[in-house]
Amino acid sequence: MTVEPQSSEPRSRAEQYPIIADFLGLVAATARGRPLSFDEVESRPFMKYWRYLIIFRHEPAISDFRVSFFGTDVVASYGEDWSGRLLSDSGFTLGFDKIYQVNRKVMETQEMAAESGVLDWQDRDHMKWHQVKLPLSRNGEVTDVLTIICFE
**Highest mean pLDDT: which range of 14-23, 94-103, 113-122:** 14-23
| Every domain of the chain and the residues it spans | 13-151
Whole-angstrom distance, CA of residue 20 vs CA of residue 118: 17
Whole-angstrom distance, CA of residue 77 vs CA of residue 99: 18
Name the fold adopted by 13-151: Beta-Lactamase (3.30.450)
State whether residue 126 is helix, strand or coil: coil
Whole-angstrom distance, CA of residue 124 vs CA of residue 38: 31
Residue 121 has pLDDT above 60, yes or no: no
For 12-36, the pLDDT digits (tens) are 889 999 999 999 999 999 999 999 9
Contacts of 123 (CB under 8 A, 6+ apart): none
DSSP state of 47: G
Taking the model in full, what pTM does it have?
0.87
